Structure 1
Amino acid sequence: MRFIQKLLPASKWKLVLSTIGILSLVAFTSIVLFETTKAEVVITDNGKERTVTTHKNTVEELLEEVDITVSEHDSLSHDLNAEIESGMEINYDTANQITLAIDGNENTYYSTKDTVEEFFKEQNLSFSKHDDISLKGSDKIKDGLQIEVKKAFEVAINDGGKDKVKNFTGGTVEDLLNQYQIEIDDDDKIKPALDEQVTKDTSINIVRVDVKEEALEEKVAFKTETKQDSSLLKGKQKTIKDGKDGKVLKTYEVTLENGEEIERKLVDEKVQTESVNKVVAVGTKEPEAKLTTLSSSNSNTTSSSDSKTLTMTASAFTSSCSGCSGYTATGINLKDNPSKKVIAVDPSVISLGTRVWVEGYGEAVAGDTGGNIKGSRIDVHVPNKSEAYQWGVRKVKVKILD
């Protein structure tokens, strides 16, 4: 500097100093002016706020200046070509990639939302309470997040005859029963099997099987024994000993399906009271009166001073047959009187109500008719079918008593 002062006259030196001062002032003023003309902008980058001053003209230029690259899915509060203004607040959020699989069908989404619930609302996605979602609605969104949803479908169940519908997202029959706490016993029947996969077309049928024991006291009907008695006239009977029904306790294994009995097995039988057989004396004594038979080519009828005797074909019938009413043509109730002596006749031969004596049968009343009882044919009433078979068809003498 001193060297320069020696070379320059004083007047020129003053001019140099003055010029330097002016240039310094201009430079300082320019710096101050540059700094004071910068715009102050607040940038919130993914929740982190910072304040910057800039001379950039647009938002895009400013973001490039602060090393922020905006992709098409990112969220930006302003257009990229918006002009920078002092006091401007710019919000920027980077979009996160989300993979959503619904019933195995995957789709990729980008979102700047904070939670799974907000993401679903953004995408207009709604699910029922029965759907199975891998994440909670309050879970935070992060880049690369994967969400799996299994949508529930209705499954028809017939449980013991009662229909019900349950929502299910998939699995086996056993999984569904466990989910709804539907218990089955070892005896119960179920279709499809427990390890079968349930689909939208599956219908489940449960048959409730109940096996129990049932004890019943049953009557044992007494039997009738016959003994020949030579002191009684033929056709006469006399009860020597009354019969008495016995009792037996039978235990059954009863199988019910949905409350209805389908099988009954006898598993035990114990006699409580023995039955007592009825003993009946059957007369074998021939009647003392001598019967005469008068035959002719036109009639089987013989006459005497006090009676008429006919030779007739006799079969037997019983009121215990299937479909029989038990009442005769004259109103006799044979089911209530199974030992009643009644014969069926052709009324043109023997009038209804006539008392008769029948060989091998005894005294009886002509109290019934029959479709096959024509002419010299009669039907004798016996208590049961076995006695009817024993009687068979035979020729007998029939004596008219009145």
Structure 2
Amino acid sequence: MARRWTPQRFTALRRLRVVICALATFALCATFFLCTTRKAVALSVNGETRHVTTYATTVTGLLREQGVDVKTHDLVQSTSAGALTNHDVVTVKSAYQTTISIDGQEVPFWTVADSAEQLLSFFEQNEVAASRVRVDIRNVYNQLTGGFVVNADGPVTVVADGKTSVAPNGKLPAASILDSKSIVLGKDDRVSVEKDGGKTVLRVERVTYGDETATESIPYVTRLVTDASLAPGETRVEQAGVNGEKRITYRVTYVDGKAQTREQTDETVTKVALDKVIAVGPEAPAKTDDDADTGANAGDDADDGAVDDNSGDDGNATDDSTGDPTADTSSPEPSETQTPEPDPEPSTSEPTQQPTQAPTQTPTQQPKPTQTPTQQPTQKPTPTQQPTQQPTQQPSNPAAGSRLYRPTAAAAQAYAAGAAAQYGWTGKNWQNLVNLWNRESGWRWNAENPWSGAYGIPQSLPPSKMAAFGANYRDDAAAQIDWGLSYIAGCYGSPNKAWEHSENYGWY
């Protein structure tokens, strides 16, 4: 007997069908995920290749999974520029720092080259005009295991102690080549590799040190002092100035017998400079608006002076400066009564001018006190020193901590040529990188966008991103370029794609 249909049974069957569909979908998705995310990848670390199976979706995740420690300047490349895919080849090369010379300027340079010839070839592949690059082999030699190969493709020309010879086997380490020529290196000797036309030159420079002593003059200082006994503007030399002397000792670095650099080690003053002292008369009192009032009252002041003088002269009873026709000049009594009368008249007619103007503008032009000789000693100012030479401050070294400090555009491109070639970016990739950063900054280390704040040759936003490649990134073009190349490699894979994005959208 068939089971009867009921609403409860229908609901139970429907729920069962939903569960079965959900489980089937989950199983299908899990199978698809396992099939697509499981990848077989070839991982090459410093020339050692191994095949690994991974479920990582990015190169960074793969390296983290495999325990590969990647430093800031290490080179990481993948055959797929984006997400990690099946059968990819991931290459990791550990970078080490050497010293190169670009147009005579020594620049610390991070490289992954296996030989000096290869490092020089990085710059040759993206040749920059008027740029001569030389590699300091000592730093490279100390970083590479098993010795440093100078030229794996041919002979090497050895230049040392004024002699030139040829080593036919360039595949030997630099130390072996020098030993075959019986060249013994000193502790401070310099060894470098450079290209001279089609030849690879291994050059040895002998470095010695010595001390030199020089005598320099210490200029005297001129001091000005005020002397009230001199007329305004008058000068007199009180003491002649005499220059001093100091003895400076330098530590000189000689390269192949020629002085190259010198550093000050000691300074001793052997003769103290004598200051030149010049006495200058006091400044003349400045004319003010009160001069007109004092000129108008000059007649009254003269009358007062004349009355005072005549009061002490018994033989002269005549007052010629009163100007009063009613004054009785025959007797001294009227003169005594009339002398105070002119004083209240001007004091009542000009009550607001003298109290307000005289104290604030010309306090030294009061009539009677300036005529007394007892005020001259109190007006003598204290001597003041006015040295004519201001002390200079020794500037600190602003280039400290920078690898390529504020270079020209040509020097910046020369550095970028070798750095980009290590990524394999030559030919069109290099040309598009030049075009990209010409558009962004004109290869100027201090280029800054006034609207967005992007800074530097690659126009980093924010600029602090470049700090991972150098703390002094605002002045160090090497830090800016290294960050810019790493950014392009991570976001676009190559300058060609970065330039294409910039052409389409106006930024990258």
Q: TM-score of the superposition, structure 1-length normalised?
A: 0.29
User: Structure 1 or 2: larger strand share?
Assistant: 1
Higher RCO (Cα < 8 Å, 6 or more apart): 2
Name which one, 1 or 2, has greater alpha-carbon Rg.
1
* TM-score for the superposition, normalised by structure 2: 0.23
